[in-house]
Homo-oligomer: A and B are copies of this chain.
Amino acid sequence: MDRGPTMIDVAEAASVSLKTVSRYVNGATNINPELAERIREAVQTLGYRRNLAAASIRPGWTSRMLGLIIGDLGNPYYSTLARGVEREVHARGYILTTASSDEDATRNDELVDRMLEQRVDGLIIVPPYTGGRSWADLPPPLPPRVLVDRPAPEGGGYTVLADNAAGAARAVELLVQEGATRIAFVGDSELISTMAERRQGYESALQAAGIAADPALVDHGVHTDEQAEQAVERLLADQGADAVFAANNRASIGALRAFRARGERVPLIGFDDFESAELTSPATTVVSHDIARMGAIAAQTLLTLIDGDEPAALTTVLPVALRRRGSERAAR
């Protein structure tokens, strides 16, 4: 099998030593222009291509590869996050290997192992919901790591988060202000820290409004659009909910489906924006944050660590904004 021309071939073709070629390829300045020209020519005619894998095994050298592990690349939320990371790291000459953990701790651990074996220079991870190995249990040496969207189950580490509790509280506050008293909470498992925080924001806003929280109005078992639709249908029919706080975009979409199927809607506010929130009737009000920016900040934090510098903060909490579009009001 042809492995392509190497530096040695280039050196021979240019009648120059190996080291000089290495210098040339790495952009060293102190090279005789005449030799440089010979090398350039040899590189051109031979079609020489650097072997970064070989270079990276040298002491002091790195792969200039970063790893990103998220829940599901197919989910627009995560792909937007990935895009934010990508922009930042590409600008610095890194390439990104991306992988989906499917929120499975074992899968996540396997991916981490694989990327460590591949000798990535750093890792950005959205920790899976629960379980899995603690970072501290891994044998050194370990590259820098930054957590995004959720803190690590075991805590600790550089982390970039959204202000989930405040966002949820803000949403519930507005629903109360619009006259709702029985506000349903529809979301994913409480084991996910973002969900726990949103739930907490929901509770505290109710408390602040002097409304007793009714556990029957809360559904934490929603993983898909379909489950969300059923949950909302049930909460409307059986629990007399007079407003819905949808704790993620799947829940929002499920709620909208339930409204449509029922031919009747109640005030709704969702967490996280979604592509066509403005196209629904009425347009859907959401609390949301800049996901791409969250990714970019995580990337910046990681690159700072790789440079050996100290990031500004151990935990960065991003603000959440209310995008008021109409769905928070009662029908008609």
Write the residues of chain A forming the contact surface with B, with a CB cutoff of 8 angstroms: 1-4, 46-54, 56-57, 59-60, 63, 65, 72-74, 76, 79-80, 82-83, 86, 90, 95-100, 111, 113-119, 138-141, 253, 256-257, 260, 274-276, 278-281, 292
Contacts and interface: CB of A to CB of B under 8 A. Distances in A.
Contacts of A98: 73, 82, 86, 96-98
Contact of A257 (B83, B95, B138, B278): B278
A97 B97 contact: yes
A56 B53 contact: yes
With most chain B CB atoms within 10 A of its CB, the pick from A1, A50, A279 is: A279
A111 B86 CA distance: 12
A120 to B, nearest CB: 10
Copies of the chain in the assembly = 2
B276 A59 contact: no
A116 B49 contact: yes
Contacts of A274: 275-276
A47 to B, nearest CB: 2
A96 B95 contact: no
A83 B97 CA distance: 13
Contacts of A46: 139
A49 B2 contact: no
Given A95-B97, A141-B4, A72 B83 contact: yes
A51 B117 contact: yes
B279 A256 contact: yes
Contacts of A140: 2, 4, 47
B281 A52 contact: no
4 closest Cβ pairs, A-B complex: A47-B139, A79-B79, A74-B83, A276-B276
Contacts of A275: 76, 253, 274-276
A81 to B, nearest CB: 9
A100 B51 CA distance: 22
14 contacts: A4-B139, A4-B140, A49-B117, A51-B119, A53-B119, A72-B83, A73-B86, A79-B82, A96-B98, A97-B97, A256-B279, A257-B278, A260-B278, A276-B280
Contacts of A253: 275-276, 279
A300 to B, nearest CB: 18
A79 B95 CA distance: 17
A80 B100 CA distance: 12
A60 B2 CA distance: 10
A195 to B, nearest CB: 21
Given A76-B76, A274-B275, 18 more contacts: A46-B139, A47-B140, A49-B117, A73-B83, A74-B83, A86-B100, A95-B99, A95-B115, A95-B118, A96-B98, A97-B98, A253-B275, A253-B279, A260-B278, A274-B276, A275-B276, A276-B276, A281-B281
A57 B97 CA distance: 19
A141 B76 CA distance: 37
A99 B96 contact: yes
